[in-house]
Structure formats: C-alpha cells, structure tokens
Chains A and B, each alone.
Chain A
Amino acid sequence: MMKSYTQISGEIGELSKLPFWKKTDIVDLAYVGYGLFIVTLVVISYILGSFNLLPKDPQDINLDLMIAPPGTAGHLLGTDFMGRDILSRLIVGIQAYFLPGLLAVFIALFFGTVLGVLAGYRGGRFETAITYFTNLVDSFPRLVLILLVIAAFKPNIYYIMIVVGLTNVPVVSSHIKGKIQFLKQKNFVEAGVSLGLPTGTIILKHILWHNCRSLLIIQATIGMAEAILMETSLSYLGFGVQEPTPSWGNMVQAGANYFMQGKFWLSTAPALSILFTILGFHLLGDGLNNILEGKRGK
C-alpha cells in the first residue's frame, strides 16, 4: 500500500509545540469522544429516571397496545408484552446498575489504592501477599462466585457489587504498585523524602494525584463496564431486579419468546443498549490509556 510522508517546511519544531489535536491519534480521540458521549447519556438518563422525567410511565400497562413495533404513536422504541413503553423502561433500567456500579468502582479503587500503596511502598511481604490474593481472586469465575454469594445471602445487588468491587481490588493494586515501583526506580520518592516532605504528602499529592490519576480513571471505566455486564447478566438470569421493575437484563430475558416469534425489539432494544454502553466504557478506557499513558507515535 502507498504511504506518503511530508516534511513541513520552515522551522522544524518539537512535538510539544503542535496543537493537541495534531499530536494525538484521531482514533483515540474518537474513542474518547464516543465514550464520553455514552457516559453523558447514562448520567442524564440516571437523572431523568430518578426524577421520573420520562416520555411515558414505565409501569403503565396498556393492554390495547401490546408489542407495538418501534415508531408507533408516542413509543419511539415500541412497547413490550404488557404495552409498556420500552424507551422509558430502558431509561429507568439504568437505575439498576448506576449506583451499584459506582459502589463497585469505589471499592475497587479505594482498597486497590490502599493495598497498592502498601505493596509499592513497603514491598517485600506485602507484595507477595498481594500477588497471592490476585491469583486467588482470579481463580474464580466471577459469575460463579456471585452465584455462590447469592445462594448464601440474598440476591441483593449491593452485596453483589461489593463482591465485584472486591474482585477488582487486586488488579488496581498491582497497577498502583507497579507505578510506585517505577517512580521509586526513578528516585522520585527519594527526592521527595530528602526534601523533607512528610510521607503522607508524598503519597497523596505527588504519587497518587499527579502520577496515578489517569491510571485510576482508566480502571474506573473498566470497573464500570464490568459492573454493568454483571448486573445485566444477573438480572437476565433472574437474580437481579425483579419484574415489574425494569433492568436491561430482565428486559432481554422477558423478550426471549417474542424474539423467536420474530418480534425482535423487545429483546434487542435493551441488548443494544448494553452493547453500546459497555462499548462506550471500554473505548473510553482504551482511548484514555493510549492518550494519557502515551503510545509512542508510529
């Protein structure tokens, strides 16, 4: 294939002088753009759902208008088998994973950071212990572990998200630990200590805030994507939110029979929502990773 190279005439400048959009790969910008778009949609929908600002009442049963295809009067995405508006139910469905997801992310980041700092700063036994826990947690298929928790406790979404969060703790901690070891290697920490900075400041301000925040943001996107996947899978299997409360997962499940009859939209609308939302978080994480953690120019 042909490849063209152009040399700019005049003063050959340094990368730092180029404007932001020329420096970064357009693909990564597109990823981040799409991801932010999705995040915005989710947040807006959450707010709408919380205040009940919906096109129609999601619980409004309308037996005259059952399984109406998308585009039917006032129902942008059609209605389900009880005549309820699908679009409104989709918006409300976000409630099912939004806060729980944030909980999972918070737990993962908080404990992950604490452990990561311990392992990175103190090393030695802490590090071995964390490696052990990482491998331990990774030994379970997450869904199976959650089913175990469900069997043992109630199928409470918050309990479940705590488990999801905890299972992500080792990943976060190993990234933080790695970053700290890297900084240590660069005598970054030594410099701080020799300047007389208190340990707390070194850790909080210099290490975490300045050096780790992109890492944490990226882990947050990964965590959220996973939480959504878990919640939807569980409610699909019947363990999460129960009818008549909508969740994307249980909506797909409810639409299964109708799918086989050729009435796709009952299952497909929530399925596509899951797809595009998870995709958004994935791409956001990847795009940010490439931009912030620096993929060298090709």
Chain B
Amino acid sequence: MLSRELMITALLLLGVSFVVFIILYLSPGDPFSVLLEGQMSTTEARSGLREVLGVPKTWHAQYLSWLTGMLQGNFGTSIRTGLPVLKEVLRVGLNTLVLTIGSMLVTLALAVPIALYSAVRGTNSISWPLTMFSYVVSALPVFWLGYIVIYFFTHKLGLFPLVFGFSSSVQKFGWLYQLLPIFVLGIGNGTISEVIRYLRDEMGRVMAEDYIRTARAKGASVWKHAFKEGFLIPVTEIIASKIPFILGGAVIVEQVFNWPGMGRMAWQAAQDRDYPVIMGIAIISAVLVRLGSLFQSVVYVAVNPRASKE
C-alpha cells in the first residue's frame, strides 16, 4: 500500500509540474524562456561550459529541460535578486513550516476539545454556542484578526515596539511575539468549523460501532478503544487535507506580520513578476502538501492491520 502511495505521489508531483509549466508557457511575454535561461546559466556556471547551449525550442523539449533541471535541484534564479531560487525558497520555507505546523497545533487545540465534547454529549447548551462560534471564526478575514491581535499586544499590553519582524524583537517578550502569527493563523485559517465537524462526526460514528459497545460491556476504557479509529486517523486525515488552506493563509499572515517566509516571498514575487521564484514556491508548496498526505498514509498503514495487505 505504501509503495502504491509513493507512486501516486510521484505521478501527482509530475502533474503539478505540468500544470505550472502550462501556466507559465501560456503566459504572454514568454516567461518560460526567461526561466530556462536563468536555469541554464546556473548549469553553465556550474559545469563551467562556455558554449551557449541555447534554449530548447519545442514545448516538450522545454518542459523536459526544465524538469530535469529541477530534479537536479536547479530551479533557476530570481529575476529580482539573482539568487538561486531553490536555496532561497528553502531558506524561508523553514519559517513557513514553523508557522504552518504551529498553527495546525493551535487549530487542533481548539477544535479537538469541542469536537470530542460534542461527540460525547451531543448538542447541548455548551456545545451548540461553541459550534456557532466556530462558524463565525471560520468566516473571519484573517488579516483583520491579525490587526486586532497586533493592536492589542502593542497598544494595550505595551509589550512590543511597533516594528515587527522576526529578529528585531529582542525585548524580553520577544519569543512570545513570534507566537502571534502562529496563533492568528491557527484561529483564522478558516477551516476550524469544518475540522470540528469532521472530528465530531468521525468520533461519533466510531462510538456507535459494535466493538465500542463490547468494550463498554467488558468495563474497558472506551477512549482507549476508540482512539485509533476515532481520533488518530481522523486528525491526521483532516490536517493533511487542510495543509493547502493553511499555506494559503500563511501568505496573508506573513504579510501582516512581516514574517520572512515563503508566503511573503510569493507575494513579493507576484508583484515583481519574478517567475522563477513564484514557480519555485508553487512547486515546493505542492511538495509539502503531498508530503503531508504521505504522512497521513503512513499513519493509516501503521494503525490499520488490514491496510498493509491491500
């Protein structure tokens, strides 16, 4: 089952590269050539070739050349800075990764208790307002939430200077400040009501299963028995599926907080028409999404005794 997953992932990533290629190829102004040139010059610089190899002419040749370049780690160079794209994207990608994972944890920290409570107790005077509230939170524009949080922390609590940025906050609460974007993205990524609903429904479904009834009848801990199918699998599944949304939200949050991540770089690149950079970010984002999906498959196979036989 896992090997099949790996193959599917590879095929999907291939598809991803093709989609990106088509978009760039069809765009007016022939950015693709610019890209390829950027890619080739690095190759030349590396291999010390003096000859101009020339940019391939047909679309499939261009695609192939670009793809092989990428597989060798050559994503071309930024039009704006001239720096190699892959290295730059990975450098800031780490920050985005921190932001993404952190915010996922925040979302879970909020969603899980509500979901489990609703699964066990059903709709009551506590779970219903919370569910309603989660709907409202899911519709919040995350950038506005960011402003509110910044305002609150800078003006009301007077903790930080108005200059935000990763390394510039050296007050004693500096580290706390770095948590703010994680917190904001965790709440404001727009998926929280769906996560709650999914986790609640899955746990509810498992609780009604025959084997949970047997566990109750034998006096065993219901949570222990329901954990794998009712919690672990649904959590990894919903989180893996929401990674694209969180990455999208990261673009905005990074802009609001001036967080030096992939999202902010993408925004900058789109403004500058820096094709190589935005292309690199698109590909890396897709890779991250697929890795998340792969991780979820791994967990599923590990937990499910039948899965490895499929």
Binding site for B on A (CB under 8 A): 1, 27, 132, 135-136, 138-145, 147-153, 225, 229, 232-233, 236-239, 252-253, 256, 259-260, 262, 267-268, 271, 274-276, 278-279, 282-283, 286, 298
Contact = CB atoms under 8 A, between A and B. Distances in A.
B12 A151 contact: no
A208 to B, nearest CB: 27
B140 A139 contact: no
B247 A144 contact: yes
B289 to A, nearest CB: 5
B269 A151 contact: yes
Nearest to A272: B144
Contacts of B162: 260
A132 B290 CA distance: 13
A267 B147 contact: yes
Contacts of B267: 147, 237
Contacts of A135: 8, 12
21 contacts: A27-B128, A132-B15, A135-B12, A136-B15, A139-B16, A140-B19, A141-B244, A141-B289, A148-B20, A148-B278, A150-B270, A152-B23, A152-B27, A152-B275, A225-B139, A233-B141, A238-B271, A252-B144, A279-B135, A279-B136, A282-B139
B286 A132 contact: no
Nearest to B13: A139
Nearest to B290: A139
A144 B249 CA distance: 10
Contacts of A151: 31, 269-270, 273-275, 278
Contact of B247 (A141, A256, A271): A141
B263 to A, nearest CB: 8
A279 B255 CA distance: 24
A128 to B, nearest CB: 11
A136 B16 contact: yes
Contacts of A282: 135, 138-139, 193
B23 A148 contact: yes
A17 B278 CA distance: 60
B27 A142 contact: no
B270 A139 contact: no
Contacts of B140: 275
Given A140-B289, A260-B151, A298 B122 contact: yes
A132 B11 contact: yes
B139 A278 contact: yes
Interface residues on chain B, size class: 35 or more
A139 B244 contact: yes
B161 interface: no
Contact of A252 (B141, B278, B281): B141
A136 B27 CA distance: 21
A268 B151 contact: no
Contacts of B8: 135
Interface string B125-168: 10010000001101111011001001100110000001000000
Kindly list the 5 A-B residue pairs having the minimum CB-CB distance in the complex, ordered from nearest: A152-B27, A271-B144, A143-B248, A279-B139, A141-B247
Contacts of A267: 144, 147
B27 A144 contact: no
Contacts of B243: 141
A259 B286 contact: no
A214 to B, nearest CB: 19
Nearest to B28: A153
A136 B12 contact: yes
B36 interface: no
Contacts of B123: 298
Contacts of B154: 260
B175 interface: no
Contacts of A153: 27-28
A118 to B, nearest CB: 19
Contact of B190 (A229, A236, A271): A229
B233 interface: no
A136 B12 CA distance: 6
Given A139-B16, A140-B285, A252-B144, A237 B244 contact: no
A139 B250 CA distance: 16
B252 interface: yes
Which of B19, B241, B274, B282 is the most central at the interface, judged by chain A CB atoms within 10 Å of its CB?
A: B282
A2 to B, nearest CB: 11
A138 B141 contact: no
